[in-house]
Amino acid sequence: MILDIKTFPDEVLRKKNEPVSVVDDSVKKLLDDMVDTMRSAKGVGLAAPQVGVNKRVIIVDISAGEDPDSLMRIINPEILELSGEPDVNEEGCLSVPGEYEVVARPSKAVIKYLKENGSEEIVKADGFLARALQHEIDHLNGVLFIDRLSMSKRETVKKRIRKRISIGDYVAGRG
Ligand code: NI
């Protein structure tokens, strides 16, 4: 089922997200719906608060649907380590549609998470996957990529969004 994607400045994107204590059918359904929603929006990642659910659940598919093996369904992720040269690249977000800005992030990330069968998994990511995972985990902490811009850049982006809202051009799902 395709869910509505909440967009900045919706407060749900800033709320505290609770860890999942039991991986039950409702969590699996949430993950299924998040996959449908991400695919429909042609995204490479999605976090539960973006569909209005304040739980520590994310999905990432850096192939954007091209490679079935690339989809990661992630519960209660924790960053164990960030390292490497800063990777400086353009980033976007389905909750900040149509805005793309350069964000520097560590190029390597080690993430621990729970799989749906309850087993613990550790992934060592680099490059675009490391970026995507950090971006989605940021969402679980109420952080958007625009928060990582310089103050002046962030104000420029917010001003542009306000203007786009006023003319009805700020539409979720346009990536
Ligand atoms: Ni995002």
CATH number for the segment(s) 11-149: 3.90.45.10
What does the pLDDT look like over 96-154, one tens digit per residue? 999 999 999 999 999 999 999 999 999 999 999 999 999 999 999 999 999 999 999 99
Average pLDDT of the segment spanning 14-20 = 98
Element housing 142 (H / E): none
Alpha helices in the chain, H assignment, sequence order: 25-40, 127-140, 151-166
Active site residues: 136
Entry pTM: 0.96
SS3 category, 23: coil
Question: How far is ligand 1, taken at its centre, from the CA of residue 80, in Å?
Answer: 21
How far are the Cα atoms of 52, 92, 97 from residue 107, in angstroms, in the given order? 29, 17, 24
Domain ranges of the chain: 11-149
- Surrounding residues of ion ligand 1, Cβ less than 5 A: 93
Question: How far is ligand 1, taken at its centre, from the CA of residue 46, in Å?
Answer: 6
Separation CA 26–CA 21 (nearest Å): 12
Per-residue tokens: 30: 């949430």
> Which is nearest to 171 in space by CA: 98, 107, 116?
98
Question: How far is ligand 1, taken at its centre, from the CA of residue 142, in Å?
Answer: 10
